[in-house]
Structure 1
Amino acid sequence: MAQERASTEDEPTADQAQTLDTIVVTGSRIRREAGFDGPAPMSTIDAAAITASGHTQITDVVNQLPGFAITQTGQTSNQYEVGNPGINALDLRGMGVQRTLTLVDSRRQVPSIPGTSGVDLSMIPSSLVERVEVITGGASALYGADAVNGVANFILKRDFDGLEANIRYGNSSRFDMPSTTADVLFGKNFADNRGNFTLFGFAERTSGEVSGQDRPWTAGGMPLYERANAGDRRVITEGNRNFYNSPNAQVVLGNCNSSNWMNCLYTFDANGQLRRPQLGPGGLVNLNPGALNTGNALLQQGRTDGGEYGAYYDNWMLSVPSDRQTVRSTVNFDFNEHARFFANLTYSQSQTQTRNRELAAYGSGYEESVPYDSPFITQDMIDANGGAFTDNISFARHFDNDFGLRRTDYERKLLQVVTGLEGDFELFSRNWNYSGYVSYGRSEERSRSLNAAALPRFYAGLNSTADANGNAVCNGSWVWSDVLNDWDWAAPMAGCVAINPFAQLTPEMVKWLSYDTDWSKTQMTQKVASAYASGGLFDLPGGEAQLVVGMEYRSESNNVGVSPQFNANHALFDPSLGYTATPLIGEYSVKEAFGEIHLPLISGAPGAERLSLDLAGRVSDYNLSGRTTTTKVGLEWAPIEDLTLRGTYGKAIRAPNIGEMFTAGVVSGAWLYDPCNDYSLANSTGNTQYTAANCAQIAPSDTATYWQWLDVIYSGNTELGPETAKTTTFGAVFRPRFINNLVISADYYKIDLRNVIAGLAPQTILQRCVDLASMDNQFCGLVTRNATGDLVDVSVQQLNLAQSLARGVDINATWFTQLPRGHRLSLDLNLGRNLERIDIADAANPDDVWNNLEIFGTPQWKGSLRTGLSHEKYSVYWTLRGYSKMRASEYATYETYERPWSGSMFYNDIYASYQLTPKVSVSAGMNNMFDRSPPRIPGAEAGGSNFNQGIAGTSSGLYDVIGRTFHLSLNFKL
């Protein structure tokens, strides 16, 4: 895949190569001689490799390159709370989607992730892609902001004459994830072949829903690290099922303590009849039952190994249904060599859904409890308790069976129009060329939620009492008033229905709790005008010096809408839903001037077969962030014909985007835990040497409760400054003359990113507040605690974190040879070695280093090897891809953990095609042919991804959670 040639499937002969005078690649706007590498490393995925992968999502193909980390793909898109389900985006070096620039035909694509530069690649079918070029060094000076880590350029098919159609069917080996795909490419030359028109149509439907219950590695109880005593080595226990993962309420009744809590654990049948629970064969399986020092702790952390209790992933959707449609047309016309007109129009749309558990209680108490005088308390409960209740009753259960799952629908549309001119001309008797274009793009996203649950209504319904006639009704409650700075009595919500959690919910209760939202609409608009000219300046000993100069203007606006039910300024706003958001309108513009010069210093000299210097720079003037400058210097030296040494050094600037600065205030809630609770202090692997002392200083009054429902306040940060990065690459390309058709390259890279703009997850903010040497840090400023030290809410906003550093080596090799009878054997190797991947979250504390190397998502080694045997009638490819060992935390060592590492993981994919007639061919393939399951290491069992920079996911995507899949295709050409 990674090579300088566009395709090893159609390698030109030596005579043919003579005619390929120049080529333009992503790494430069200067036309290069054939075989010229350039100083920046570049990887190329050609059409043959894309086809052989069997993927219809181009993201799945590109993510196999070692330099890319898993972000959002088909296996990580179900979590609605992290946003953007169904979108496929790229993350080069694992440092954030917002730092990877995605181009289409070397031009900017309208973003699809609201407020960012993130491009949804699900809108680009893999069958439309001619090749993918990835450049990783000094790209920001060439292409502007968002290219800190590099550029992925998708070159689409054009200048096609004829008709080609493909029909594809795919499924899992368990036949629960069917997908059908069809595409048609039509092209026609006209005006004596001076013009060409192409039309491409694509449609795909994936109708299957795969849940955690549908795979053996997620259907059973999950693995956990545990230890019986504080000083013991942690071991892995299997089959763990939490007491709260039950369709029936779990309660603790009677006078028990940590030594005999199980004698006081009760549950109910669907009619509310009290009974003893049906545990798994191991009963209470916690290795340290003494840590369950309260009845609430038993409900929150107590576990068994079967019985009537469900598994953690039962309600997770490993794959969700989706539909995609794309239409693209292009027109090219050569007026003459000085003016060639081009235009293209792309329209794409997609529809997807997510499904999630919506309503559950985890035994935390507080609002999640039943009053001690509730009319739903039965005599059996009083008897089991040994007398009347004097405290509220905590309970734990989920409501999947009687309430159902929440469904969120997403509809997306994208329209982009690009038109421009390019051509050749002479300037001072030297050859020059130019290209200019204007682009208008608009992406739109609509979303709505169905069968959602309003937690404030749930809590209000739980707070029940009896009226004068003995009927259960909602009671008022004491609530904290910021105005009075004291507790105030609140009357029951209008229409409130008393909730009995000890029995199956009645239709009236479900109706009170559930709601649907109207559609919200978010729209992103992008306008671009760009032009450059390139040509010769003067002659040097190594050849002609060449220059590129250009200018670009770009404006982007984002109108982020919200559902009327959440908008406090809308007539349909309903505060009882517990979620408040306001629409956002943000925009920015930038004017840029850029230049690049190529200086071939020496050619054909002893010890310097080729020596050249490349310089590039870009000045950007943002209307919001001011003026920034990016630069790059590159050197290429070939001491002999077989060996080329290359290197680049660049300075990159990334200004904050719309979403980072202007995100409107959103107040929602999340189940979080206080890192200062007893269980976390004793068992969390992420605690530092400072955690215990800081928690002792906070001294929260409640250290027994684990899960807490807290307000999470999201807002933008207009005080953000730009990010700055220093990027370095150096390496070598080896083409030995004594081995025909072999190319080997190895490149070292280093990205030192300062003032990193990142939004951390709420739980991460809580943890980092107490993990640092001093609580006088930027994270504690985002955490609100009351007078007794207990948590109240968490604010989430983008921050300029101190530093993010990535270092590694990319190794690529390609080789082919011609065999007898027209056969051809080829090998393509892509291998990446991560050397360092750290985040320093607080500039005032340089010891606050978060080492992500070998943590799930950042393996030391990642790679793939593709072997192919091809003939004019048929082809067969085998791909071996894999990762080296990883673990959940840098603190997980063999000294403290029984089995901290996941071990290396390899997957095998096969693909074969056969030409039935000159016009018809068939192909088939199988991915993960041996049905490898994720490792049974806590944190890896459901996929193992660890998204850096606070980008959360479903813990899947790194390891395959679907299992073996296959596909069959039929191709027609006319």
Structure 2
Amino acid sequence: MVRDRTIGWALLGSSALALLVSMPAAAQQAAAPQVSTEEASEPGGDIIVTGTRVVRDGYMAPTPTTVIGEAELNAKAPVNIADYVNQLPSLSGSVSPRAYTGAVSGGTIGINALNLRAIGSNRTLILLDGRRVAASTIAGLVDVNTIPQAMVKRVDIVTGGASANWGSDALSGVVNFVLDKDFTGIKGTVQGGVTDYGDDKNINLSLTAGTAFAGGRGHIQFSAEYAQNEGIDGIGDRKWYNGAKIISNPAYTATNGQPALIAAANVGFATATPGGIITSGPLRGTYFGEGGTPMQFNYGSVVSGNLMIGGDWRYADFGLSGDISPASTRQSYFGRVDYDLTDNVEIYAEASYNRATTSLLAFYQWGFGNVTIRPDNAFIPEALRSQVTGNFSMGSFYNDLGRTRATTRRSATRGVIGLRGDFDALGSNWTWDAYGQKTITRTYTDGRTSIMPRLAAATDSVYNDAGAIVCRSTLTDPTNGCVPFNIFGTGVNTQAARDYILGTTWARNRLTQEVFAATAQGEPFSTWAGPVSLALGVEHRREGVTGSNDPLSPARSYFVGNYLATTGKYNVTEGFVEAVVPLASEAPFAEKLDFNGAVRATNYSTSGFVTTWKAGLTWSPVSDITFRVTRSRDIRAPNLSELFQAGGAGTSAVADPFNGGALYTIVSISQGNPDLKPEKADTLGLGVVLQPSFIPGLAGSVDYYDIKIKDQIASIGSSAILEQCYQGLTAYCAGISRNAEGILTGIVNAPVNIASFHARGLDFEASYRRPMLGGNVSLRFLATRFLKSRTDNGITPATDLVGTNGTLVSARTSLPKWRYTGTATYAMDKFSLSLTARGFSAGYINSAFIECTSGCPTSTTANQTINDNSMPAAMYFDANITVKLMDGIETFLSVDNIANKDPYQMPYGPSIGANPISINPVLYDTMGRLFRAGVRFKL
């Protein structure tokens, strides 16, 4: 640690000395790395690459970088730019509105957060013109919705560790959104879309204007955008749902050779129905329908725990209660002005405001056979009352209370002011940039759900002395306002009863980020092989959060939500230096050989000093081929949630080993740990770039990556905490709470630097362009082969996620072996057509499962046996047609999932999850055929 600090500050000191001598402030940070299909064949000079801060052609960068150009963005015409970026093979497991429709307690509804390598969205650094974008949640997720999308001309994706270049969170890579800051004229888009089923109707309107002033010394521009989509209630008119779930095999024993788990379709719940079902006593199997009519439940062929196969599964299944696409609106305003104070100094300012609202109806509330009804309950149907001799248990989905309604509102206000310019010093021209940036993000999250103490009181209803039905609690407290609730049936409760039980759990957070940075770039001297490029700078950043919440959440009163206010702050000061040193040029052994190195010294107010570094080589033995290698040390510092979270609460169902594995619905409480230290990653990258001169227009690359993380911040989960306590590790027992009867009620879980992680894989990219039939044909192909993605916390069984197309824990950790996308485009002056194929390879429900139907080994916690662990591959075809109507005006039509391919049904279970619809929206297309059409103009 001391040695790292000494080396880091020594290198930083030499950088600062050079900075003082030449008086610069910041290198231009706009990025344009590995050239896109449209740019590949066009001549041009050096460009600045996101993978490095010094001027180098993209293919000469030691860190592989993929570019999405403006033409590709226009051809795809996405409702949200994140929808397109997430189709890149190197991204997997990103947070998106469709993937998190059930995550009410997590507060992530509506978020679009990118995830490189499936290592975590909080380990992917998001930049806007090379400047860090402020987080949209206390968990460090950056919502791409805050980007002024109408002004984006290019997206650069750096698929490698870049902490030494760009700072913390660039552990798996960087996504840099590059704006068109010099736009002059007026342009706009009017776009609308709808699915093949007539739902999720969406519109996107944008207008951008820019002009020079003061005789060309200044430039001003403004952009506004409005987007809206209606969402989809449930799955709409789609017919693919089949109730696929995983249940525990009731016939399994450790020695009979049967699988412990069964994946099957037509699975519903045996211990809950929309209007309630009796689960104990002589009336077991009596359920209550519309108007409270008692009927006999058909349990089906296999019953295991809360689940069953067949019978009345469809009636007793709430898998369709959640929306597959939330409704949302988004508004974005961006303005920029710059002015040349002198021929060498420019002042500039930017201001932006973004706001987004997302709403959805999530799941019905559940209670799996855990509601105790006393024999004097006033709502017991008279036809059954004589058969009731004591307390009995019921389960219900409480349909009369309706589905949980969740809403999030987010806004981000950002301002930047800075100076930049150039001057001559040390025999070369230097460019510099100094700026201050402040972002204020306000979030509001709520959930309309049950207040659990009120539900319990309202359900326990009796007759008073006057023969009226009242809450039992009212007999001793006549003014408590309790309104009786009838659990026996659907359509049997008053609005007054619903209003008494339902409440709104909410939280407000105000996140602030302040950044002050100065960087410079130049070529102070030369070696025998050419000029040495140098970039250096300093940065100070402050992050903080303050929050508030409703008065009932601290007592964990709600079924879901129970948001708590979080307050905390930290600051970080850092400096970096990066250099590209030519080692050979036009030599017998090398057409070109360059060394690229960077080091960053960082001091956190919470966790102290840390040094990150990168070293790389690019070697072109001939002009047609380039080899590149990088080695880096990267970090991710703990975010505000991991450090300071007061105790976020969610509802989950876990099996209690102290009570024979009985399943209980509990409150899982997540809280921060101020003693966390940064994660550290060692990254190796090896690659080769081919640009054969004998095939003009062809370029390609293959890159290997290896990422090892130590001190990874992780929470082991409620089930693991229970198991460790059960195994006698008493340190894990303190956060477990039970009621007076010993029934499990809650578990507290805090993150620790406990885990390690190892990821390996291969990236492939190729592009080709040539004239044909009076136009140009462009081909582009990208693919990623994931080789390893293994997390080990030393407690729960370590599992390699590669090959997991779905998972027992969460669909959001999916990672198929292959992901790919290929696009063919034919473009003429007035017409262009593109066809895209995208998809992934076949895999497993869970890579840790062992598939067998007979002769199975003993099932273990680490490797459970299952009858069918397969999940198929999928390929989708998209198309775009663009027609130029007249100069500056064009119309377009884009179609996604042309074949209207249905998603594969991913079984989940045996415990209930936050996204009960049996699909994996991270991988499989859940929308069906989607049309978008519109008009663009540029005048």
Q: Is 1:425 aligned to residue 420 of structure 2?
A: no
- Residues 536-551 of structure 1: pairs in structure 2 closer than 5 A: 536-551=523-538
Does the CA contact (< 8 Å) of 2:585 and 2:591 recur in 1? yes
Q: Which amino acid aligns with 1:150?
A: G
How big is each residue's C-alpha offset from its partner over 1:883-935, in whole Å with a ceiling of 9 and x where there is no partner? 11121222434435443221211111101100011132110010011111122
Pick aligned residue for 1:864 from 799, 810, 821: 821
| 1:913 counterpart letter in structure 2 | T
Aligned match of 2:830: 873
Scaled by the length of structure 1, the TM-score of the pair is 0.85
C-alpha deviation, 1:48, in angstroms: 1.4
Distance 1:796 1:253 in 2: 33
- Asked whether 1:838 is paired with 2:790, we answer yes
Answer yes or no: is the 8 Å Cα contact 2:101–2:915 preserved in 1. Answer: no
Q: Which amino acid aligns with 1:967?
A: R
| Corresponding residue of 2:13 | none
Q: Structure 1 residues 615 and 490, CA, compared in 2 at 3 Å: closer, same or farther?
A: farther
CA contact (8 A) 2:422 2:431 kept: yes
Residues in 2 aligned to 1:84 and 1:49: alpha-carbon distance in whole angstroms: 29
Residue 559 of structure 1: aligned partner: 546
- The alpha carbon displacement at 1:416 in A equals 0.8
Q: CA deviation at 1:786?
A: 7.5
- AA at the equivalent of 1:884: S
Q: CA deviation at 1:579?
A: 7.5
- 1:812 is aligned to 2:752: no
Query: Could you tell me which residue of structure 2 aligns to residue 852 of structure 1?
Result: 801
Q: Give the corresponding residue for 2:276.
A: 249
CA distance in 1, matches of 2:769, 2:245: 45
Greater mean deviation of Cα atoms: 874-883 or 887-896 = 887-896
Letter in 2 for 1:475: R
Whole-angstrom CA distance in 2 between matches of 1:349 and 1:579: 22
Where does 1:30-49 land on structure 2 (aligned, <5 Å)? 30-32=54-56, 34=57, 37-49=60-72
Contact 2:547 / 2:566 at 8 angstroms: preserved in 1?
Answer: yes
Partner of 1:9: 38
Deviation of 1:795 (Å): 0.7
Instruction: Summarize the Cα distance change of 1:602–1:787 in structure 2 as closer, same or farther, 3 Å threshold.
Output: farther
Deviates more, 1:453-462 or 1:246-255: 246-255
- Contact kept, 8 Å, 1:370 with 1:464, in 2: the verdict is no
TM-aligned CA distance change 1:458 to 1:35, over 3 Å: closer
The 1-side partners of 2:536 and 2:573 are apart by 14
Paired with 1:463 and 1:35, the residues of 2 have a C-alpha distance of: 69
CA separation of 1:533/1:728 partners in 2, compared to 1, >3 Å: closer, same or farther? same
**C-alpha displacement at 1:159, in angstroms?**
0.8
Give the alignment's Cα RMSD to 1 decimal: 3.1
Residue pairs, 1:891-906, within 5 angstroms: 891-896=848-853, 897-906=866-875
AA partner of residue 637 (structure 2): A
CA contact (8 A) 2:540 2:572 kept: yes
Q: TM-score, normalised by structure 2?
A: 0.88
Q: 1:407 to 1:617 in 2, by over 3 A?
A: same
For residue 643 of structure 1, report the CA deviation from its aligned partner: 1.0
Residue of structure 1 in register with 2:323 after alignment: 317
Q: Match for residue 673 of structure 1?
A: 654
Describe the superposition over 1:743-780 as per-residue Cα deviations: whole angstroms up to 9, x where unpaired: 1111111111111112455456546766xxx5538755
Which residue pairs with 2:500 in the alignment?
Answer: 512
Task: Give, as a single letter, the amino acid of the residue that structure 1 aligns with 2:893.
Answer: A
How far off its partner does 1:315 sit? 1.0
- Among candidates 205, 216, 230, match of residue 207 of structure 1: 230
* 1:752 correspondence with 2:752: no
The alignment status of 1:463 with 2:460, answered yes or no, reads: yes
Tell me the SS of whatever aligns to 1:710: strand
Q: Map 1:473-622 to 2 at 5 A.
A: 473-475=470-472, 494-503=480-489, 504-516=492-504, 520-566=507-553, 582-622=564-604
Residues 945/380 of structure 1: CA separation in 2 closer, same or farther (3 Å cut):
closer
Letter in 1 for 2:95: Q
Retained in 2: the 8 A contact 1:734–1:744? yes
What amino acid maps onto 2:689 in structure 1? V
Find out whether 1:793 has 2:774 as its counterpart.
no
CA distance in 2, matches of 1:35, 1:42: 7
Structure 2 residue 287 is matched with structure 1 residue 267: yes
Matching residue within 371, 374, 379 for 2:377: 374
Q: Give the whole-Å Cα distance in 1 for the aligned partners of 2:149 and 2:836.
A: 18
Shift of 1:4: 4.9
Unaligned runs of 5+ in 1: 257-263, 292-296, 478-488, 569-573, 677-699
CA–CA distance in structure 1, aligned partners of residues 592 and 915 of structure 2 = 43
Structure 1 residues 752 and 787, CA, compared in 2 at 3 Å: closer, same or farther?
farther
Asked if 1:709 is matched to 2:670, the reply is: no
Take 2:624 and 2:155, find their aligned partners in 1: how far apart are those partners? 26
* Structure 2 residue aligned with 1:679: none
Which amino acid in structure 1 is aligned with residue 266 of structure 2?
G
Once residues 408 and 237 of structure 1 are traced to their aligned partners in structure 2, the CA distance between those partners, rounded to angstroms, is 31
Question: Cα distance, 1:611 vs. partner?
Answer: 1.1
Match of 1:349 in 2: 355
Give the residue type in structure 2 aligned to 1:956: P
> The residue matched to 1:118 in structure 2 has which SS?
coil
Distance (whole Å) between structure 2 residues aligned to residue 817 and residue 108 of structure 1 = 38
- C-alpha distance in 2, partners of 1:885/1:579? 36
Kindly provide the CA deviation profile for residues 648-682 of structure 1, in whole angstroms up to 9, marking residues without a partner as x: 1111222212211111134x462412153xxxxxx
Preserved CA contact (<8 Å) 1:251 1:393: yes
Match of 2:251 among 212, 229, 245: 229
Give the Cα–Cα distance (whole angstroms) in 1 for the partners of residues 112 and 918 of structure 2: 13
Does the 8 Å CA contact 2:546/2:565 hold for their aligned counterparts?
yes
* Whole-angstrom CA distance in 2 between matches of 1:658 and 1:227: 43
> Distance between the aligned counterparts of 2:909 and 2:493, measured in 1?
35
* Cα 1:307/1:810, change in 2 over 3 Å: closer
Q: Helix, strand or coil: the match of 1:936?
A: coil
Secondary structure class of the residue paired with 2:898 = coil
1:734 to 672, 690, 701: 690
Query: How far apart in 1 are the matches of 2:476 and 2:706?
Result: 58
Distance in 2 between residues matched to 1:133 and 1:808, nearest whole Å: 20
The one-letter code of the counterpart of 1:439 is Q
Which residue identity does 1:911 align to in structure 2?
N
Q: CA deviation at 1:405?
A: 2.1
Pick which of 412-421 and 833-842 moved more. 412-421
Residues 596, 620 of structure 1: alpha-carbon distance in 2 compared, 3 angstrom cutoff: same
Q: 1:971 aligns with which of 923, 927, 936?
A: 936
Q: What secondary structure is seen at the aligned counterpart in 1 of 2:329?
A: strand
User: Paired residue for 1:918?
Assistant: 887
Does the 8 Å contact 1:946/1:955 carry over to 2?
no
Instruction: Show the counterpart of 1:962.
Output: 927
**Relative CO higher for 1 or 2, CA cutoff 8 Å, sep ≥ 6?**
2
Match of 2:51 in 1: 27
Q: Please report how far the alpha carbon of residue 811 of structure 1 lies from its aligned counterpart in structure 2 after TM superposition.
A: 0.7
CA distance in 2, matches of 1:65, 1:162: 32
1:150 maps to 173
- Aligned partners of 1:57 and 1:125 also within 8 Å: no
CA contact (8 A) 1:457 1:576 kept: no
- The secondary structure found in structure 2 opposite 1:405 is coil
1:953–1:752 Cα change, 3 Å: farther
Runs of 5+ unmatched residues, structure 2: 1-30, 807-813, 854-865
Kept in 1, the 8 Å contact 2:784–2:820? The answer is: yes
Aligned-residue offset at 1:447: 3.1
Secondary structure of the 2:198 match is: coil
**CA separation of 1:303/1:177 partners in 2, compared to 1, >3 Å: closer, same or farther?**
same
User: For residues 904 and 778 of structure 1, what CA distance do their matches in structure 2 show?
Assistant: 44
Deviation at 1:195, TM superposition (A): 2.4
